[in-house]
Amino acid sequence: MKVKTITLEGETGYIATISREDKSIVCHIADKNGTSVNIHLVSPDDRDDQFSLAECIQFQLDGCRGTNSMKHEYFRLITLFAD
Chain length of the chain: 83
pLDDT at 1 over 90: no
Q: What is the pLDDT of residue 66?
A: 87
What is the total count of domains within the chain?
Answer: 1
Domain coverage including residue 20: 5-81
Q: What is the pLDDT of residue 11?
A: 94
Convert 39-67 to b/e letters by CB count within 10 Å (16 or more is b): ebebebeeeebbbebbbbbbbbbbeeebe
Cα distances from 60 to residues 23, 73, 75, in angstroms, run: 24, 14, 14
Q: Mean pLDDT over residues 48-71, rounded?
A: 95
Q: What is the pLDDT of residue 2?
A: 84
Task: Using a pLDDT cut of 90, give the percent of the chain over it.
Answer: 89
